[in-house]
């Protein structure tokens, strides 16, 4: 008998392909929530604190004491706030582009990667995780659904599924 039977099943070595979640440990839900709140606080401090500090230092809120509002002080405060906004945007863009981390994600030791484990691009994170997700937030109850999906087995919110990303321990 010949060993080249054309009707025999194919013979070959079969190996399992590792799943991306085998290589990375998914970030804890509470850590992701804490990172979200911490990023919000950091952004608020960097944007609003300069306005408040400069406006108070220059007497911009004298109207609260019955005096006239110092528009120069308020204007300088707005300018300081704009500088804080630009600084926050720059720091965030640089960190996200380098390693998929916002300021809080870096502090908490987590990062955003593609589902296959490869780095997530700045464009993917900005457009799909932020812009598209922000537009969808106008749909009633969307934010609640987005938030609750993190309790699924894959720990992915809607914005993670849209961008094909996961949040892992860095």
Q: Tens digits of per-residue pLDDT, 48-105?
A: 999 988 888 887 666 566 667 777 888 888 999 999 999 999 999 999 999 999 999 9
Alpha-carbon span 139 to 143, nearest angstrom: 8
pTM of the model: 0.78
Q: What is the pLDDT of residue 11?
A: 78
How many CA within 13 A on the CB side of residue 2? 5
How does pLDDT run across 132-152, given as a tens digit for each residue? 999 999 999 999 999 899 999
């Amino acid at each position: 008998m010949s060993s080249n039977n054309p009707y025999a099943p194919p013979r070959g070595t079969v190996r399992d392909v590792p799943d991306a979640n085998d290589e990375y440990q998914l970030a804890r839900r509470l850590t992701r929530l804490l990172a979200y709140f911490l990023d919000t606080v950091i952004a608020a401090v960097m944007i609003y604190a300069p306005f408040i500090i400069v406006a108070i230092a220059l007497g911009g809120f004298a109207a609260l004491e019955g005096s006239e509002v110092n528009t120069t002080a308020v204007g300088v405060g707005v300018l300081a706030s704009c500088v804080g906004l630009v600084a926050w945007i720059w720091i965030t863009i640089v960190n996200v582009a380098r390693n998929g981390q916002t300021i809080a994600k870096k502090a908490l030791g987590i990062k955003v990667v593609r589902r296959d484990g490869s780095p997530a691009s700045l464009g993917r994170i900005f457009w799909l995780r932020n812009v598209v997700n922000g537009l969808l937030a106008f749909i009633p109850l969307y934010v609640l659904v987005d938030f609750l999906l993190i309790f699924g087995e894959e720990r992915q919110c809607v914005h993670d599924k849209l961008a094909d990303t996961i949040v892992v321990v860095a």
